[in-house]
Amino acid sequence: MGQAGKQTGKEKNFVSCVIYLHNDEEVVGDFLGKISRVMQDNFEKYEIICVNDGCTDGTVEQIHAFLEGAETAGIQTRAVSLINLSFYQGVETAMNAGGDLAVGDFLIEFDRCCLDFEPELIMRIYRRALEGYDVVSAAPKRGVSFSSRMFYALYNWSSHFRYHIRQERFRIVSRRAVNRVNQMNVYVPYRKAMYMNCGLKTDTVVYDNKDTAKKSRNREERSNRNGLAVDTLIIFTDVLEKFSLLVSTVLLVFLVMMFCWIVYSIFSTVRPVEGWMSLMALMSFGFFMLSVMLTLIFKYLAVILNMSFRKQRYVVEGVEKLSK
Amino acid sequence: MSWQTSDKLIIGAGLYGLYAALYCGRRGQRVTVLEIEEAPFTRATYINQARVHMGYHYPRSLSTAMKSAGYFKRFVEDYGFCIHDSFQQIYATSRHFSWTDAAEFRKFCENAGIPCMDLPAEQYFQKGMCDGAFLTQEYTYDAHILRDHLLEEIGKLPNVTMRYGRRIRRIIKQGDCYEIYAEAAEAAAGQTAKGASEEQYRAPFVLNATYASVNQVLHCVEGVETQDFGLKYELCEIILCHVDAALEKIGLTVMDGPFFSIMPFGKTGYHSLTSVTFTPHKTSYDAVPQFGCAKEQGAACAERWLGNCNSCACKPESAWEYMSALARKYLRADYGFTYESSLFSMKPILKASEIDDSRPTVIKRLEPERADGGGPVFLSVLSGKINTVYDLDAFLE
């Protein structure tokens, strides 16, 4: 098949690395160097796709600097591309763009440009995937924030899916899984949940990260992640159903109590002065609960609207092929 | 050493050069064609996608599209013998990263007045990859059949002389003529004494139809101020493939962005595979092509002249792995294809046309016409499409 097969002992699968970048000028050069090294040592063919999600610092310059210095450092940069998103759109959207450009048999998605793992971990994950797992994630042991933990706990408790999710640093996804996820929906709000729910076999490798990722998230990113967390819980879990059930139950209990009180007051000698207060209390509480329900319905509708009518997943400024 | 005088001197034996030679030769003019290679049609005329453009390729430039469509019919009538038209040419718009979409493309075809019929995209592509597929009318030409035809026709004309293996040294304006000093390949190789085989040509009309070498030729001109074409250069690879029976009668082009095309390559029986991202291997933004490979041992580039990238020992490694992975990502699994060989050539791209992706034919005259209509003519032509060759007519009269 193809050209005269070179006997290099390297892996024959085509691997695409997609790297998310948002103001990572300090680490991007080092990160690209290490990733490229692992790739060229282990794979015959690979590509690296950097997704520039509205970087306002020198990240892009650092990528160019890396490419210029790569030749002398003995690093091949045969297929490096850069996707420039027009403005900051968040990691999920940005990584969707990267994934769409990638052509490989396997995709390795680096959600953060953060090297708190040994580069060899990439190969461990890859080999695990070859054992028959379509999605294999690398999850750090330490440094997961409290809020993240709460989110994952809530998610895993309220979703019915086979696999649980947790904080991940990067993951390998087979072409089959990517296609499956893309066919499931145009709008992929949260890749991690989609991969875990695409029906294919998945696995997680936990690694001990000695020094935890220090990079703090900016406010924009944080609010983006918070919004995403709410969306994710609504789409992928039944947490809101459970919540509304709870609300209804409380309302029901309250009504029963009221009813009992009324019955009691009929048969007892103690008559309420006018019964006006309790009636008002019942009505106002009822309306409050009704508005809560309406809020939930509106939220649901917003998400459904988003899923069915959004045509383009992201706004791209341009795609550059960087390697010469 | 004696002057070889003719009415028209043509530099470059690609399609534009030979077309012009035949055009003028048939009108009884004495024509001399100077070609650096030992045969015509060895570079870009042969090594490209071999499309006879109808304009579908330029959804961002209606003017380019309409012009292509206008010349399409004429080219097909004139050169039908070299055209392969018994296949379905399908254009598709990628769902992601495309500068256009199905609705826009449909509208564009309507505006340009070119046929376009909706097809189910999933008949050809993996689910979700393309948002529209269209049956179009576009053909492919076979450069070798076209070459043989043109050579045969030129052979009938004793007034047209072909000179192969000639390197231009100097072009000098002398009165009403241009004088060209050239040397034959043996001398250029440095074996014989310099000047022994230097030849001198003289004509009142010179046509520079050297495509990627157009600026290099202009730099040989002395005595007249020249202006470079604003170009960048891409060293491009066209991959020839064997295709499965299912794909044999189909040409597929995914537009408009970092995509690919797999379509019949003339009447060779092969399909050409190209991709926007992986076909260009190296890029040079200099006025004349400057590539690191030119300095390597055994490179075909000599002195200042661009060599033939296809026969060069220093041509890049094939990007087959990348292009095939890209195509497989889009194509349905039953459309199989395998590697046969690679062709390399240098492609100049007008810097001004990057945004709208138009491919105008640019014809530049070195000096403006004198008031009395006289004076020598030095024309340079640059065009990326074969069927716009008719643009030359007006200048050859």
User: DSSP labels for A200-268?
Assistant: S-EEEEEE--SSPP-PPPPHHHHHHHHHHHHHHHHHH--HHHHHHHHHHHHHHHHHHHHHHHHHHHHHS
In this structure, what DSSP letter does residue B331 have? B
Query: Does residue B254 sit in the same domain as residue B348?
Result: yes
Total number of domains constituting chain B: 2
* Average pLDDT of the residues in A160-175: 85
Q: Which helix (H) or strand (E) holds B146?
A: helix B143-155
Q: What is the pLDDT of residue A19?
A: 95
Q: Which domain holds residue B179?
A: 3-44+145-229+359-396
- With CB atoms and an 8 Å threshold, state whether B282 touches A324: yes
> B21 and B157 in one domain?
yes
pLDDT, residue A118, reads: 87
| Residues ≥6 apart with Cβ < 8 Å to B194 | B187
Q: Is B149 exposed, middle or buried (0-12, 13-18, 19+ CB in 10 A)?
A: middle
Q: What is the DSSP letter of B212?
A: G
> A132 in the Ramachandran plot: left (φ > 0), alpha (ψ -120 to 50) or beta?
left
Find the radius of gyration of the CA atoms of chain A. 26
Q: What angle do CA B260, B265, B268 make, to 5 degrees?
A: 150
Residues B281 and B201 in one domain: no
Q: Write out the DSSP string of B344-393.
A: EEEEEEEGGGTTT-----EEEESSPPPTTS-S-EEEEEE-S-GGGGGGGH
Q: Which residue from A13, A38, A184, A32 is spatially nearest to A107, judged by alpha carbons?
A: A13
A2/B324 Cβ within 8 A:
yes
Are residues B258 and B135 part of one domain? yes
Q: Which of B97, B320, B329 sits opposite A2 (nearest CB)?
A: B320
Helix (H) or strand (E) holding B178: strand B177-184
Shared-domain flag, residues B119 and B264: yes
Interface confidence, given as ipTM, is: 0.72
Average pLDDT over residues A55-78: 86
Q: What gap in Å lies between CA A290 and CA A288, rounded to an integer?
A: 5
User: Is residue B248 located within the same domain as residue B308?
Assistant: yes
B219/B151 same-domain check: yes
Cβ atoms of residues B151 and B49 within 8 Å: no
CA distance A57 to A34: 22
How far apart CA A260 and CA A248 sit, in angstroms, is: 18
The CA-based angle A93-A99-A102, given to 5 degrees, is 150
Between CA A107 and CA A173 the distance in angstroms is 5
CB contact under 8 A, B321 and A47: no
Measure CB to CB from residue B339 to each of A2, A101, A321 and give the nearest one.
Answer: A2
Q: Are residues B316 and B252 in the same domain?
A: yes
Confidence of residue A4 (pLDDT cuts 50, 70, 90): very low
Residues B192 and B166 in one domain: yes
Which CATH number is B214's domain given? Answer: 3.50.50.60
Instruction: Find which of A158-162, A230-234, B21-25 is predicted with most confidence, using mean pLDDT.
Output: B21-25
The reply to whether B57 and B80 lie within a common domain is: yes
Give pLDDT tens digits for B332-349: 989 999 999 999 999 998
For residues B104 and B216, state if they share a domain: no
Q: What is the model's pLDDT at position A2? A: 38
Q: Any CB–CB contact under 8 A between A320 and chain B? A: no
Q: In this complex, do B324 and A175 lie within 8 Å of one another by their Cβ atoms? A: no
pLDDT tens across A307-324, in order?
665 555 666 767 777 765
Q: Please name the member of A81, A100, A175 whose beta carbon is closest to the beta carbon of B96.
A: A100
| pLDDT of amino acid A11 | 86
Cβ–Cβ of A44/B339 closer than 8 Å? no
- Residue ranges for chain B with pLDDT beneath 70: 1, 185-196, 353-357
Amino acid occupying residue A317:
E
For residue A129, name the pLDDT band (cuts at 50, 70, 90).
very high
pLDDT bucket at A185, cuts 50 / 70 / 90: low
* Chain A contact set for B239 (CB, 8 A): none
Nearest CA in chain B to A48: B322
Nearest-neighbour CA in chain B from A280: distance (Å): 56
* pLDDT for residue A8: 64
Q: Are B244 and B337 in contact (CB under 8 A)?
A: yes
pLDDT tier at A271, thresholds 50, 70, 90: low
Distance from the Cα of B393 to chain A's closest Cα (Å) equals: 38
Check whether residue B192 and residue B273 sit in a common domain: no
A179:B128 CB<8 A: yes
Provide the pLDDT for residue A1.
38
C-alpha to C-alpha distance for B61 and B59, rounded to whole angstroms: 6
Q: Which residues of A touch B329 (CB under 8 A)?
A: 103, 175
Q: How far apart are the CA of B344 and the nearest CA of chain A, in angstroms?
A: 16
CB atoms A101 and B318 under 8 Å: no
In terms of pLDDT, which residue wins out, B90 or A253?
B90
In the chain, the amino acid numbered A221 is E
Between positions 284 and 313 of A, the ones with CB within 8 A of B are: 313
- Residue B247's domain is classified under what CATH number? 3.30.9.10
Q: Give the pLDDT confidence score for residue A312 in this predicted structure.
A: 54
Per-residue pLDDT of B292-323, as tens digits, reads 888 888 888 887 889 999 999 999 999 999 99
Token output for A224: 């983006």
pLDDT averaged over chain A?
A: 80
For chain B, list residues whose CB is within 8 angstroms of any CB belonging to chain A.
96-97, 126-128, 257-258, 277-278, 280, 282-283, 318, 320-322, 324-326, 328-329, 338-339
With 50 as the cut, is the pLDDT of residue A5 above it? no
**How far off is chain A from B159, nearest CA to CA, in Å?**
46
